[in-house]
Amino acid sequence: MKLLVLGGSDFVGRTAVEHALQLEWDVAVLNRGTTASDPRVTQLRGDRRSSDGLDETREGYWDIVFDTWSWEPDVVAQSATMLDGRVGSYVYVSSRSVYDAPRAGATETWPTVQGPGEDYARQKLGGERAAVAAFGDRTLLVRAGLILGPYENIGRLPWWLNRIERAGEVLAPGPVDLALQYIDVRDLVAWSLDAAARGLGGAYDVVSRPGHATIGELLQCCLAATRSDARLCWVEPDVLSAAGVQPWTELPIWIPPGADHDSLHASDVSKACAAGLRTRPIQETVADTWTWLQSLGGSEPTRTDRPPVGLPAEREAAILAGRGLT
């Protein structure tokens, strides 16, 4: 198979390149060339925001194109329009954010967001529509949820690992059995490329089944991976709310029970599972992410277009002290 990855230097795109090389596919990447690529990869250079950014793709033919673009839909439209006729399938890594306030059990048929706007959800939805406009049913829309694993440049799981490795008393957001629904980046990529190679198209929610792991299991895995003697101090959601703690950002991954939690962690993914989606255990995701972080000296690579995540140490200590835990 011949694969063209638009990007290919960070997180999901980088994982796609590595997985395709493991399959012994012929891989090309199009990016600005600011990061060294694997010598087995054909390097095409271009800035997709520039009018001539796709020029180096004009002569190529590929079986699959893999696109993770998250910003202007016009950029996806330009790519898809230029590549139509020279590519078999267009894989667009989208997001479950495109749904309009989904409830527990929502599937791919749930209504999408409506109205104008330049927020993340509408940009991803615009990217979907641009790809479909050019490739029709040869477009595979991968609606991912929370993505974890090695190379994560958002900083969610890396923050928890580094925080727990520092040990001491760690604020753990309850309840301990709160269900999580996420996808390891390697499982997302493996399913997406295999599905495209099999000719699948349309929208798929690509995350684990609800309850694949819990917040308690996630943090216990962080303890095991880092071999830390940190003590998890469980604090209930009402206490965290009263303290002004922001779910998802200040305490990454965590969202308290309720509608927001269900919209992210309780979707019905039977369609993707029936199409072959397999998800590895949380222990493997956490351990492999820690191994990768150690190879970087423990630093947390983060995207400059996203706000930093994590609860400041002084706020964590104050909340724990207020609960009589320190």
pLDDT in tens, 148-205: 999 999 999 999 999 999 999 999 999 999 999 999 999 999 999 999 999 999 999 9
What percentage of the chain exceeds 90 in pLDDT? Answer: 89
pLDDT tier at 326, thresholds 50, 70, 90 = very low
Domains 2-144 and 153-181+211-265+282-322 are alike in CATH topology:
no
* Domain residue spans of the chain: 2-144, 153-181+211-265+282-322
Q: Is residue 58's pLDDT more than 50?
A: yes
Q: What is the DSSP letter of 177?
A: T
Cα(87)–Cα(83) distance, rounded to whole angstroms? 6
- Side chain identity at residue 296, one-letter code: L
pLDDT tier at 323, thresholds 50, 70, 90 = low
Assign domain 153-181+211-265+282-322 to a CATH class: alpha beta
Cα(53)–Cα(49) distance, rounded to whole angstroms? 7
CB 195 within 8 A of CB 276: yes
Query: What pTM does this model have?
Result: 0.95
Query: 2-144 has which CATH code?
Result: 3.40.50.720
pLDDT digits (tens, 9 = 90+) for 114-157: 988 889 999 999 999 999 999 999 999 999 999 999 999 999 99
Q: How far is CA 28 from CA 7, 63, 132, 135, 140, in A?
A: 10, 11, 22, 20, 19
Mean of the pLDDT values across residues 85-90? 97
- Measured at the CA of 156, the angle between CA 113 and CA 283, to 5 degrees, comes to 110
Interstrand relation of 26-31 and 2-6 (parallel, antiparallel or unpaired): parallel
CB 45 within 8 A of CB 31: yes
Give all strands (DSSP E) within the chain, no chain letters: 2-6, 26-31, 42-45, 62-67, 87-95, 139-144, 146-148, 169-173, 179-180, 182-184, 202-206, 213-214, 231-235, 247-248, 251-252
